[in-house]
Structures are given as C-alpha cells and as structure tokens.
A = this chain, B = another copy of it.
Amino acid sequence: MTPSPGPEMHALVRRLYPLCRSITGDGVRHTLDIVEEYLPLTRHEVPTGTQVLDWTVPQEWNIRDAWVADTDGRRVVDFAESNLHVVSYSVPVSARMPLARLREHLHTLPDQPSLVPYRTSYYAPAWGFCLAQDTLDAMPDGDYDVHIDSTLADGHLTYAEHVVPGRVTDEVLVSCHTCHPSLANDNLAGIAVAVFLARELAQRTPHYTYRFLFAPGTIGSITWLARNTEHIDRVKHGLVLACAGDAGALTYKRSRRGDAEIDRVVRYVLDSSGRPHTIVGFSPYGYDERQFCSPGFNLGVGSLTRTPYAGYPEYHTSADNPDFVLPEAMADTLAACREAFAVLDRNRRYVNTSPYGEPQLGKRGLYDSLGGRSDAKQAQLAMLWVLNLSDGDHSLLDIAERSGLPFGTLADAGTALLAAGLLKE
C-alpha cells in the first residue's frame, strides 16, 4: 500500500511557513525555490507598471526587519518573531512617537486577544503593525521607537506554472495563491496539495493537459489572465485550491456557471464517495475563482476547500499555523482531487454507431451467452446504458447519474464498446 502523502505535504507546509510572502518580493521567490525541489516550474517575472486588465502591477515590496521598541530598546513587537507582525506592503518608517499616535498603526483582534491578525495595505501607502490585544494592553503609555526596514520599489511580480502534458491540449487549470505570509491553511496547505497532485498526475499521461498556477492572489491571477487572454479558451475546467488542510469537511464552491462539468464532476465524486461535504453556490468573494469566473472569462473553475474562506476563527490570524493543518486532512483533499480528475479525465460523450435497436453484444463476445438469468450483471447493464444514451448529448457522467451505476464501470463499458466499434468519439 502506498504510504499516505499527508506527512510529506505537512513537512512542505512547515518548510514554507516562516517565509515572508506577499503579492511580490523575495518571499514569493523563495517559496517557489522550495516548490521547485518537488516540481519543475516555469517562472514569470512581470515588471512593475505593467497593465494587467483593469490593474497595474504594483511596486515590489521587500522587508528585512521591523519592530516596535520601548525607549529602553526592548522590542515589544518584532517581525523576527512572526512576519504577521508587520502590515504587508508597509512603507519604511523609523520614528519615535507616543503610544497614542502609534495606536493608529496598530491592529489587534479584541475578540481574540491572544492572536495576531493578518493585515495588508497593497494599494494605499501605509505602514502598520499587527499584534495581540493582550500585548497592546500590556504596553504602558509613553514613547516608542518604530522601525520598518522595507523597500517599495520598481521590480517584478513573480508567479510560476507547472504543466503536466496530456493527450489533448485542452487544459485543466489548478490554481493556488502564494501571497500569504505565515498562514498555514490559507494557503500553504493548498500549495502542498497542488504540488503533490501535479506529481501524481505526471505518473501517467492524462487525457487533459493540467496546468498548475502558483501566483499571488487577485493581482497574480489577473496578471496571468491578462497574459493568457488570447488562449484562455483552452482552459476547459479548473479548480482553485485553498484552505486545504484544516479538520473540517470538504466544501466545493461551484463555478459561476453553476453547472460546468467540473461542478458536476466534483459533486458526483463527493456525493458518491460518502464523505461528509458541502456544495455551495458561486459567490464573487473568496479566492481567485473571483477572477477566473468574472463575467468576461466565465471559466468553468470551481474552488475546493475544507472549511471555506473566512469560515474558521483561526482564519487570517497567527493561529493558522502548521499545527492547525492535519496531514490526514491534506491527504483527503488530495484524494478528492485525484478522484475528481479521474472522472473528469475519462468523461466522454460517445455516439452509438448502431443506434437502431440494441446491437447484438453476444456475437461480439460482449454478452453472457446463456440468457434468461434473473441477475443482470452490472458490466452488461453498463454497456446497455452507455449504448442507449450515447447519442452525442449524454456524457458518461450523465449516464452515471441517470443509471446509478458507478462511473468507472460505465467508463470501462465505454472503452470496451469503443474497441468493438459500437461507439465513436
């Protein structure tokens, strides 16, 4: 038995966790360096100022150090302890100011006083620190030195692709965001599942070409879309992976289309797997499905998570750390992807070449020759269903749903009937 990939994926999460990612900068590049130990990547560096759809690639942000210290030099908030402590894209600052003025730049979670929140300010020049409410409460009035050693300068936005070539050029897009700093479930678990999924798919030549996209959220997918608009119609299906490792049940969020093939495939796989799960309708809030499903593109891209976006108290806080992510949960997310793509990859729409009456299966060796038995064999039943509904309008998944027979049995029947010349593609 193959050992579970859960622990290996969890190890990857732990390695990636300390890096200070943002929508640009070296944290993203180092993340991709580590991913590349598992998977060859094609990297893209897009210059600051490039117009991408309605947006502009921003300046590149890098940070070396950041702290708030009391006048005795004791660091009460320190980027070196956790990169969540600094508001992402903070401009450099070096100043002394009283707590009263500093407070305008401090972010806490009063309802979760021991946790550090995650905050960003990508498109408005600002600086700030995030800290536990408890820490703030313990800070005496008086002056503080604040220091952010960051740079915001023309540079590049970095993203990467990995392609598993298939027998056809039609593509399945698997996307995950790489912009979050030390947040494990959102989205290091998603990155880890994508990496291991890509490795599994490459073990055989799939039907579709599978394209994996590692890019910062929003601006990254927008940049990718802007640079791939001309060929976007080769993306037939897609899945955005996020929050892939918490203990919750799987949640599938439909594409904007609502009944895209990926929507039906994932629902079928989750329903027939017996897993507890939730299917939710599309909403224009969440991860990069927002961009892929914008009305101009309207791709058949859904989103698979465990507990969805903003649905758990640890979301966007320091509690979303590697301990919050379970190896077996990541393994289960990976398995669900594997099962869904197994169906997607085999889902065909055949045409019965002998549609008038049933073809005589017996003379082709496809039928038990001794009739009259009251127990119909499932494989024969599958052939009859595939023949009956293969009129060009029904896919194997349609037939699976209508017949109640397992997809795999029907796909095998399709393969046998195709070989016998009774179906054509």
A positions within 8 Å CB-CB of B? 53-55, 88, 117-124, 126, 218, 221-222, 225-226, 229, 256, 281, 283-285, 290-291, 293-298, 310, 315-316, 352, 354-360, 362-363, 369-374, 376, 381, 384-385, 387-391, 402-403
Contacts and interface: CB of A to CB of B under 8 A. Distances in A.
A403 B281 CA distance: 9
B53 A372 contact: no
B54 A359 contact: yes
A227 to B, nearest CB: 12
A98 to B, nearest CB: 22
Given A356-B53, A357-B297, A363 B123 contact: yes
Nearest to A294: B357
Q: Which 4 A-B pairs have the closest CB atoms?
A: A296-B355, A124-B369, A296-B356, A284-B388
Contacts of A225: 356-357
Nearest to A355: B296
B123 A362 contact: yes
Contacts of A388: 256, 284, 290, 293-295
Contacts of A315: 374
Given A120-B371, A294-B387, A295-B355, 4 more contacts: A53-B356, A54-B358, A119-B370, A293-B388
Contacts of A229: 356
25 contacts: A53-B357, A54-B356, A54-B359, A120-B372, A122-B371, A123-B362, A124-B362, A124-B370, A256-B388, A284-B381, A284-B388, A285-B376, A285-B384, A290-B384, A290-B388, A291-B357, A294-B357, A294-B387, A295-B389, A296-B352, A296-B355, A296-B356, A297-B356, A310-B374, A315-B374
A293 B376 CA distance: 19
Nearest to A118: B372
A271 to B, nearest CB: 18
Contact of A376 (B120, B310, B357): B310
A126 B402 contact: no
Contact of A121 (B54, B294, B297, B369): B369
Nearest to A375: B310
B403 A356 contact: no
Nearest to A387: B284
Contacts of A362: 123-124
A119 B372 CA distance: 5
A391 B123 contact: no
A133 to B, nearest CB: 15
A118 to B, nearest CB: 5
A403 B374 CA distance: 44
A120 B367 CA distance: 14
A69 to B, nearest CB: 24
Nearest to A371: B120
Contacts of A285: 376, 381, 384
A218 B229 CA distance: 54
Contacts of A310: 374, 376
A371 B122 CA distance: 8
A285 to B, nearest CB: 6
A248 to B, nearest CB: 16
Contacts of A384: 284-285, 290
A195 to B, nearest CB: 25
A222 B384 CA distance: 15
A360 B296 CA distance: 15
A123 B360 contact: yes
A369 B284 contact: no
B123 A355 contact: no
Contacts of A376: 285, 310
